[in-house]
Chain A
Amino acid sequence: MNSAPHIEIRDLTMAYGEFVIQRDLNFVVNKGDIFVIMGGNGCGKTTLMRALIGLQRPTRGTVYYGGEDFWGVEPQEQERLKRRLGIMFQGGALWSSLTLAENVALPLKEYTALAPRRIGEIVSFKLALVGLAGFEEFYPAELSGGMKKRAGLARAMALDPDILVIDEPSSGLDPLTARRLDDLILELRDSLDTTIVVITHELASILGIGTNSVFLDTETHTMINTGNPKEAVVSGDLRVRHFLTRGEL
């Protein structure tokens, strides 16, 4: 174990061409956090996620995983760091030519030496965790949007990653399913020691499970608040309180 922060974002600036999405982001995600990235639609949450998980090189700044500079190391090292991540994309990003079971099984086949039957059992369990038991042989095209998301989460969890990055898990889910997903996230953190980075607008989730957060502002293109969302709602920046109370304040 080293004492470097689990994930550290330093001076991160992201842009598409000339159009700066977010600039000068600095924050730390600690082990065991349920870290919420929040902000209005289109403020750059997904873009930030893409920089975190190595899909898009930031214009400036970098991300440290356990003290290792992700954007500064060799590609092989990046692959090794990426191995610690499980990612759920906004729309699920399921591979459309594979069944749900095959989708979840692929990472297991690639990176474990498990026998096919074990893999089958693990896959069924993961699908059941997200409430999709029995959908093993379905193709992604045969699922609703919310189901695709949950299947995407099952795939992200397939290898029991150290860090789980989830893009808008509960938008498009009914309240009870969303609640179940929150419970699942808490459970993953408590029982598997997973650090969770979750992008969400869902107030109930933010206040219910978030232990730490960053708020990305659309207008100033930078972060305006960090810390526990429960505290942010009473003592944070006015814009954040506004957001967290649906504009009541």
Chain B
Amino acid sequence: MTVNGANVANTRSDTGNERQWRLDPRPMGDGLLELSCAGRWCMDQDLPAAGMIVSELDNTLRLSFDTAQLSAWDTGFLAFLRALFVLCAERGISIEQDGLPNGIRHLLAMAAAVPEQKAAKRSNARQNLFFQVGAATVAFFRGAPEMLHFLGEITLSFGRLLRGRARFRLSDLWWEIEEVGPRALVIVSVISFLVGLILAYLGADQLRLVGAQIFIADLVAIGMVREVGALMTGIIIAGRTGAAFAAQLGTMQVNEEIDAFKTLGISPVDFLVLPRMLALMLMVPLLTLYAGFVGMLAGLLVSVAIFDIGMFEYYTETLRALELKHFLVGLSKGSVYGGMVAYAGCLRGMQCGRSAESVGEAATSAVVTGILLITISASLMTIIFYRLGI
């Protein structure tokens, strides 16, 4: 039997025979199989799989080669031979390489010289759904102590800060403050304006039914200052800054920069996490206030332009509605959300592995964790403030 490259469907038939591979297994008796490889064995054409002569190997004890007609070869041929050798090894067939060109023999020897590190190979067999869910659950609960541990470290670090013993560079703090404050203004403005607009529209539409449109002002003012301003700012900062924190610290982890801090006995939490926590806990409340004002501005615009409420009327109604406690609630929520985002970002950054890939995972996970923590603390705080009657 001669297998020929021309038989392969996508090989052009007008090329000469030297342009294609030819494979011809010749049984020589006594269990010896001579494999004649001829023509061109290069990767720019469709090369055969070693498996195609597997049936010939059944009664074979020894395999030899005839490459007298081989006109050209490259790694494609080497890969074919390597796969073939594996098949032979499985069947206990001995291989006589004399018939192969010298270069091929050397390259194959080099490829075989370093044995494959079995333990290093990861099994990526897919597990069934139940297994995956179980593994994810276990991983989540294993992660909980680590999260608490990190929280403890941050607390200790704050303790050192209060005693004036924490070590970080003030310029880092300023840089972070600038990064989360002024540079976040544009996106916070846009989102708060739109949210204020939506609130006013929704509210006005309902309040018109009972002829109480003027209460749009109350709705927008209290809603924005107390809840929505902080929530929107928290979510924006989680996506913008939390992810950035995780990526920064993650990259430092990859570059062994964090290790370098540890070996010097400098706490990476003091040096890296503390300024970031402080920056967010200081700046997010301010951004929250700002978001509240922008939202009220949007409410005013909608009321005056569309629902025919006087500007002065809206203004006095807003003043009447807003009490100090609403500001305090909004500010404290902003501070907590800021802390949560910074915590999530720094936690994921510090947990980052040692590859570029894990930096990406850390950033993603920081955003998810940040938003999750914001949601949880928002619910808790709403309940607490309700109970306290604030």
Let me know if B266 and A55 touch, CB within 8 A.
no
- B117 and A218: CB pair below 8 A? yes
Given the complex, which residues of A lie within 8 Å of B252, measured CB to CB?
95-96
User: Judging by beta carbons under 8 Å apart, are B265 and A79 in contact?
Assistant: yes
Pick the residue among B119, B172, B259 that contacts A55 (CB under 8 A). B259
Q: Which residues of A contact B261 (CB under 8 A)?
A: 95
Does B306 interact with chain A (Cβ within 8 Å)? no
Interface residues on A, range: 20 to 34
Find out whether the CB atom of A96 lies under 8 angstroms from the CB atom of B117: no
Contact with A along B113-145 (1 / 0, CB 8 A): 001010110000000000000000000000000
Chain B residues, CB < 8 A from A110: 167, 264-266
Residues of B within 8 A of A196 (CB): none
- Pick the residue among A85, A90, A219 that contacts B263 (CB under 8 A): A85
A91 touches B256 (CB 8 A): yes
Q: In the complex the two chains form, is B256's CB within 8 Å of A82's CB? A: no
Interface residue tally on B, bucketed by range: 10 to 19
With A93-B255, A96-B255, A97-B172 known as contacts, the answer to whether A87 contacts B260 (CB < 8 A) is: yes
A79: chain B residues at CB < 8 Å are 265
For the complex, give the distance between the alpha carbons of A95 and B255 in Å: 9
Q: Is B257 a contact partner of A19 (Cβ separation < 8 A)?
A: no
Residue B91 at the chain A interface, CB threshold 8 Å: no
Q: Does chain A have a CB within 8 A of B160?
A: no
User: Is there contact, CB below 8 Å, between A219 and B120?
Assistant: no
- What is the 8 Å Cβ interface bit string for chain A, positions 88-114, against chain B (1 contact, 0 not)? 011111111100000000110010000
CA distance A62 to B120 in the complex (A): 25
Q: Write the nearest CB–CB distance from A122 to chain B, whole angstroms.
A: 16
Chain B CB within 8 A of A53 CB: yes
Among A41-77, those with CB < 8 Å from B are 42, 50, 53-55
Bound complex: CA of A107 vs CA of B117, how far in Å? 40
Confirm or deny: A83 has a beta carbon within 8 angstroms of a beta carbon on chain B.
yes
| Residue in chain A with minimal CB distance to B115 | A219
Whether A107 touches B172, Cβ cut-off 8 Å, given contacts A90-B256, A91-B256, A93-B255, is no
Closest CB of chain B to A105's CB: distance in Å? 12
The reply on B262 being an interface residue by CB < 8 A is: yes
Give the distance to chain A from B139, nearest Cβ to Cβ, in Å: 14
Most buried by A among B167, B264, B266: B264
CB-based nearest B residue for A247 = B113
**CA A89 – CA B255 in complex, angstroms?**
9
Which residues does chain A contribute within 8 Å of B264, judged by CB atoms? 82, 106-107, 110
Question: Which residues of A121-138 are within 8 A (CB) of B?
Answer: none
Task: Given A19-B120, A93-B255, A219-B115, answer yes or no on A82-B260 (Cβ-Cβ < 8 Å).
Answer: no
Of residues 18 through 56 on chain B, the ones whose CB sits less than 8 Å from some CB of chain A are: none
Nearest CB of A to B184, in Å: 20
**Residue of A whose beta carbon sits closest to that of B251:** A96
Q: Looking at the complex, which one of A20, A83, A96, A97 makes contact with B265 (CB distance below 8 Å)?
A: A83
Residues of A within 8 A of B120 (CB): 19
Closest B residue, CB atoms, query A20:
B119
The answer, among A53, A55, A95, A218, for a CB contact under 8 Å with B257, is A95
* B260 and A95 contacting across the interface, CB-CB below 8 Å: yes
1/0 per position for B241-271, CB-CB distance to A under 8 A? 0000000000110011101111111100000
In the docked arrangement, what's the CA distance between A20 and B172, Å? 40
Distance of A55 Cα from B252 Cα, bound (Å):
15
Which residues of B have CB within 8 Å of A53?
263
Q: Pick the most buried of B257, B260, B262, B265: most chain A CB atoms within 10 A of its CB.
A: B260
A91 CA to B253 CA, complexed, in Å: 12
Cβ–Cβ < 8 Å partners of B167 in chain A: 110
In Å, the complex CA distance between A110 and B263 comes to 13
| Central interface residue in B117, B120, B262, B265, by most chain A CB within 10 Å | B265
A82 to B256, CA, bound (A): 17
Residue ID in chain A nearest B258 by CB atoms: A93
Chain B residues positioned under 8 Å from A90 (CB to CB): 256
Judging by beta carbons under 8 Å apart, are A96 and B257 in contact?
yes
- Smallest beta-carbon distance B332→chain A, Å: 32
Q: Is B260 within 8 A of A89, CB to CB?
A: yes
Contact, CB under 8 Å: A89 / B266: no
Contact residues in B for A87 (Cβ distance below 8 Å): 260, 263
- Pairwise interchain contact B115-A93, C-beta atoms closer than 8 A: no
* Chain A 14-30 interface residues, beta-carbon cutoff 8 Å to B: 18-20
* A53 CA / B251 CA spacing, docked (Å): 21
Q: List A residues 119-161 near B (Cβ within 8 Å).
A: 155
CA gap between A231 and B264 in the complex, in Å: 36
* Shortest Cβ distance from A165 into B: residue: B263
How far apart are the CA atoms of A44 and B257 in the complex, in Å? 20
> Is B257 in contact with A82, judged by CB distance below 8 angstroms?
no
**Could you list 14 further interchain pairs (A-B, Cβ under 8 angstroms) beyond the known A42-B117, A54-B263, A93-B255?**
A18-B119, A82-B265, A87-B263, A91-B255, A92-B255, A93-B256, A93-B259, A93-B260, A95-B252, A95-B260, A96-B257, A97-B172, A106-B264, A110-B264
A-B contact pairs, 18 of them (CB 8 A): A54-B262, A54-B263, A55-B259, A79-B265, A82-B265, A85-B263, A89-B259, A90-B256, A91-B256, A92-B255, A93-B255, A93-B257, A95-B252, A95-B261, A96-B251, A96-B257, A106-B266, A107-B264
Q: Which residues of B pack against A, CB within 8 Å? A: 115, 117, 119-120, 167, 172, 251-252, 255-257, 259-266
